[in-house]
């Protein structure tokens, strides 16, 4: 499939038994073997963490790793079956590839893509991507999004002081004359709309709206996630009323 931005390595199927101590997932492979896989998503995984559901894991042959397996995907089966990405380390890799391909016309022109650049009021934060070469530098932050209510994707799914801080810092970026972009990586293909998760973190929702009013740009990006890989579906519709 030529439109895949990212192709998964060969993945092994199994069933989720449980997630514990945030970083570990107990999974029964189809072979009957029970493994402990690394769980890259340490948040509550609201609506996604469902024991008994099908999952897919990758396997690394790196002898220095403590856990050979990484939990990559889970299948939700309530209505139409849908795969949801679990590995929170993956969105930034996919976004970098998408930036190199120029898949986000809203960003305009840029010639340099630099990840993990130090910025912020106290210079103790790192922006996910710094884009230069256009009219203004662009500070771009990426947030993984898996919580959904029907076709509405929501972020965050819990109180996030770190996320609040990022919004405040992006507001300051705009005030100092640069462009600031918050990109929400909707890690499932069944959502058409996006809203801040007010019921999980009201402060975040208030900051989200303030950031928009001060010129922070919002890109809620839809991605189709399958066992083969990840493809870009375009922007979700922004809904500021539904989640309140």
Structure confidence at residue 240 (pLDDT): 87
Q: Write out the two tokens for 153.
A: 């994707």
Place of tokens 């220095």: 64
**pLDDT tens across 207-224, in order?**
999 999 999 999 999 999
Count of H helices and E strands in the chain?
3, 17
User: Burial, 185: exposed, middle or buried (Cβ in 10 Å; 0-12, 13-18, 19+)?
Assistant: buried
Structure confidence at residue 1 (pLDDT): 45
Residues of the chain with pLDDT under 50: 1, 243-244
**pLDDT tens across 33-42, in order?**
999 999 999 9
Of the candidates 2, 133, 26, 216, the residue with the CA atom closest to the CA atom of residue 238: 216
98, 232 contact by CB (below 8 A): yes
Structure confidence at residue 25 (pLDDT): 98
Q: Write out the two tokens for 13.
A: 């199927």
Structure confidence at residue 121 (pLDDT): 77
Structure confidence at residue 15 (pLDDT): 98
Structure confidence at residue 2 (pLDDT): 63
Rg of the chain over Cα atoms, rounded to whole angstroms, equals: 18
Residue-wise burial string across 141-180, b where 16 or more C-beta atoms lie within 10 A, e elsewhere: bbbbbbbbbeebbbbbbeebeebbbbbebbbebbeeebbb
């Amino acid at each position: 499939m030529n439109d895949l931005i990212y192709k998964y390595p060969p993945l092994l199927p199994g069933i989720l038994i449980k997630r514990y101590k945030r970083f570990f997932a107990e999974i029964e492979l189809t072979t009957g073997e029970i493994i402990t896989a690394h769980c890259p998503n340490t948040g509550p995984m609201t609506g996604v963490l469902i024991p008994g559901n099908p999952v897919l894991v990758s396997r690394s042959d790196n002898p220095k790793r403590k856990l050979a397996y990484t939990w990559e995907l889970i299948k939700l089966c309530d209505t139409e079956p849908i795969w949801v990405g679990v590995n929170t380390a993956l969105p930034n890799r996919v976004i970098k590839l998408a930036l190199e391909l120029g898949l986000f016309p809203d960003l305009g022109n840029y010639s340099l893509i630099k990840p993990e650049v130090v910025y912020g009021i106290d210079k103790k934060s790192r922006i996910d991507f710094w884009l230069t070469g256009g009219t203004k530098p662009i500070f771009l932050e990426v947030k993984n999004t898996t919580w959904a209510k029907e076709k509405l994707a929501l972020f965050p799914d819990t109180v996030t002081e770190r996320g609040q801080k990022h919004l405040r810092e992006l507001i300051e970026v705009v005030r100092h004359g640069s462009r600031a972009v918050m990109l929400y990586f909707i890690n499932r293909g069944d959502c058409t709309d996006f809203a801040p998760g007010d019921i999980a973190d009201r402060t975040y929702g208030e900051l989200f709206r303030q950031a928009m009013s001060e010129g922070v740009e919002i890109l809620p990006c839809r991605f189709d996630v399958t066992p083969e890989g990840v493809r870009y579906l375009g922007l979700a519709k922004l809904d500021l009323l539904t989640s309140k």
